[in-house]
Amino acid sequence: MIEKRRFDTEVQYVKYKVLKEVARRTWNDTLLETIFEIPKKIAPGGTPAVRCCIYKERAVVEERIRMAMGGDKSNPNVIEVIGIACDECPTGGYEVGEACRGCLAHNCEYVCKFGAITFDEHRVAHIDKSKCVECGQCSRACPYGAITHRTRPCEKACKIKAIYAGGETKEAKIDNSTCIACGNCVYHCPWGAISDKSFICDVIKMIKGSDGGKNYKIYAVVAPSITSQFAYAKPGQVIAGIKALGFTDVIEAALGADMVADEESRELVEKGSLISSCCPAFLTYVEKQFPELLPLVSSTLSPMASICKFFKSKEPDAKFVFIGPCTAKKHEFQKESVRDYVDSVITFEELQALFGSKSIDISLFNEEQTIGASYFGQNFARCGGLADAVREGICEHGDSEFFDLKSVSCNGIEQCMNALVKLKYGKLDVNFIEGMACVGGCIGGAGCPIHSTEKPKQRGDSADEPLTISESIKRL
């Protein structure tokens, strides 16, 4: 029960249990020999917990194991639907509820241009789904509000309409040409029928291959939002726990954020207008939906890629694993512009599974520290933090006297969409757009065990002597 309380939902806990078992067997080199034991361990006995029968429950676990081992290699998307788990949601669309009074007016019938509304012998309205085009006119016309629109949780969560019900079974389908891998659907599916692919097995193999640093060093690069996770331990204990897994050392991605703030602030002053490139899901959204705006996108790599590139130049043989809240990072690290610097990506959920797989209780460790970043680098994790850091960079470079920063911080992909549309048509009077696909910023990422609005806290430096961005970079 203690482990269970470390997650927001039962879906996350089940995912954790599968990841933990897969990881444990990977550490022991027994995964392939014992893989068929995992479904019975996760779904024991003969009585199903939520499915129609124990056999289907175990079949779903088998699919979760597949995702824990990397998913469908032929599918380039890091987000996949577990088809067998997607069978409990209503089809959705407009439906007539009990509030229908069978009134004389029949407003709903008169406004429907497609003949989709009919009435039974009790004068209650019905909607013919084969004729309905989901225009919503009937709902707006009903004086009782009896016609409501039911939306599947995954479709409701996906603000860019990359998910739809397809085929005879009406299971969820993902349009890869639209999907930005933000993971919103992963977190909001009540059945856990949508999941991000895991590279946890690859990371374990890297750690084991390092042989304690004898063959090569392997570094964990942790996102600033880690301070809003693992509430049962102190930040320094999380760092100690990561080292206990076999990582040579831990590097703060916030240092990369300082590098990005320094470079983007210079680039902004030089170009006069800029779209941030830090959030991979936002950047993919611009690439797919607003390609005409790509010339305005910053040429600076993300904080993850920037800091890994810096240290890779010093230790070419070393391995770098990013650990953060973001499912879209799993797509980013495979891009041609990044793959030479970042070797793999796992989420905070998967880090928790790694701790569990080795029975590591991080709350028992003494705290260890990392090279601390500036306050501004640490606060990249929240929406608005990047814009604040760029403003600070402009000031530190002495450019604030002649350059007036007019920024907008987009909190979630809907706000990103609105800002980009306005920018496209010349209706947005700003010169810098910070786009965060997740509401709240990285602290609201799909790969977080818990989703908190808490502002990330600064680590590694006294509040009385905060580092500037420039000072942080000079320490590297």
> Which tokens in the block code for residue 182?
């933000």
Q: What is the pLDDT of residue 460?
A: 43
Only one residue has tokens 């990005």, namely 260
pLDDT band per the 50, 70, 90 thresholds, residue 452: low
Q: Is 407 a residue whose pLDDT tops 50?
A: yes
Q: Residues 438, 80, 33, CA angle at the centre, nearest 5°?
A: 125
pLDDT digits (tens, 9 = 90+) for 203-245: 999 999 999 999 999 999 999 888 888 888 999 999 999 999 9
If you average pLDDT over residues 408-431, what whole number do you get?
95
pLDDT digits (tens, 9 = 90+) for 36-61: 999 999 999 888 888 889 999 999 99
Range in 168-172, 244-248, 269-273, 375-379 with the lowest mean pLDDT: 168-172
pLDDT digits (tens, 9 = 90+) for 120-137: 988 899 999 889 988 999
Q: Is 459 a residue whose pLDDT tops 70?
A: no
Q: Rounded to two decimals, what is the model's pTM?
A: 0.89
Q: Is 1 a residue whose pLDDT tops 60?
A: no
Q: What is the pLDDT of residue 134?
A: 86
If you average pLDDT over residues 92-117, what whole number do you get?
91
Q: Is 89 a residue whose pLDDT tops 80?
A: no
Q: What is the pLDDT of residue 2?
A: 64
Are the CB atoms for 31 and 25 separated by under 8 Å?
yes
Hey, how many other C-beta atoms are within 10 angstroms of the C-beta on 311?
20
Question: Environment class of residue 334 by beta-carbon count within 10 Å: exposed (0-12), middle (13-18) or buried (19+)?
Answer: middle
Q: What is the pLDDT of residue 388?
A: 94
Only one residue has tokens 């300082």, namely 258
If you average pLDDT over residues 373-401, what whole number do you get?
91
Q: What is the pLDDT of residue 463?
A: 45
If you average pLDDT over residues 188-195, what whole number do you get?
94
Q: Is 348 a residue whose pLDDT tops 60?
A: yes
Strand partners, 434: 409
Average pLDDT, the chain: 91
pLDDT digits (tens, 9 = 90+) for 292-323: 999 999 999 999 999 999 999 999 999 999 99
Q: What is the pLDDT of residue 287?
A: 96
Quote the CA–CA distance of 416 and 278 in Å, as a whole number.
13
Among residues 57, 159, 45, which one has the least CA distance to residue 413? 159
Q: What is the pLDDT of residue 28?
A: 96
